[in-house]
Amino acid sequence: MNRDIGNPNRAFADGIKVYDLQGQSFDKVIDYFESRITKWYFKISRRKVLKDSNFMLMTTCSVLIDLFSQYFYGQYFSSKKHFIQFIEEHLDKYNQELTPPLETVDRDKKTGNPTQVKVKSIAEGLYVGFRCGVVHSARILEFGRINQVDKKNAISLQEWRYEHKNGREIQVNPALLLKELERIFRKYIKKLRKNDQEAVANFKKKFNFEYSTSFQ
């Protein structure tokens, strides 16, 4: 479907306007897209002021996973299903089933009231506890924690004990996770440049929906 792209003079990336996208070759659009993600997300996130903020780095990582899952799978909008699928496929070394599941409280979609939710995997936990925690409550839910203590693993499941209470939590080193996402993004750009049919088709579906672009 066609959509109104708004003011064509809006910035798409540094030095690139939305109107610059129209009538460009696919290779040039990939150049623009790579520039946008690299400079606005990866490059700025490596600055010391942001590296000192675990929460802001985690927010950036959540946004990027949401974005990549839409482009990788050719989806018009974000979804829990594809967010989890992205982690299962591209961050699979960190994913594992949670036995027993972690428990939290979420909104019942029908009534709007609180309801008990079982989190059955690391991937689901990243969506519910981190992505949705950040977007909807500006916090990480109670079964999650962000820090940079673990210098080897971007994501891990850790046990904790405090006085007479104990449990498990998903821990994320957002600086390492950001590096993982940049590695995944570089591989994705290479697939697009090599004209991988599925990757290109999914990219065009999402990109055309967002910007009503016609490629040369």
Q: How high is the mean pLDDT of the chain?
A: 94
Of the candidates 118, 115, 94, the residue with the CA atom closest to the CA atom of residue 105: 115
Of the candidates 148, 178, 153, the residue with the CA atom closest to the CA atom of residue 47: 178
155, part of any domain: yes
State pTM to two decimals: 0.94
35, part of any domain: yes
15, part of any domain: yes
Residues of the domain holding 192: 11-211
**pLDDT above 70 coverage of the chain, percent:** 98
pLDDT tens digit sequence for 151-204: 999 999 999 999 999 999 999 999 999 999 999 999 999 999 999 999 999 999
Instruction: Give 129's strand partners.
Output: none
∠ CA 57-159-138, rounded to 5°: 30
pLDDT tens digit sequence for 139-150: 999 999 998 889
2, part of any domain: no
127, part of any domain: yes
Count of domains in the chain? 1
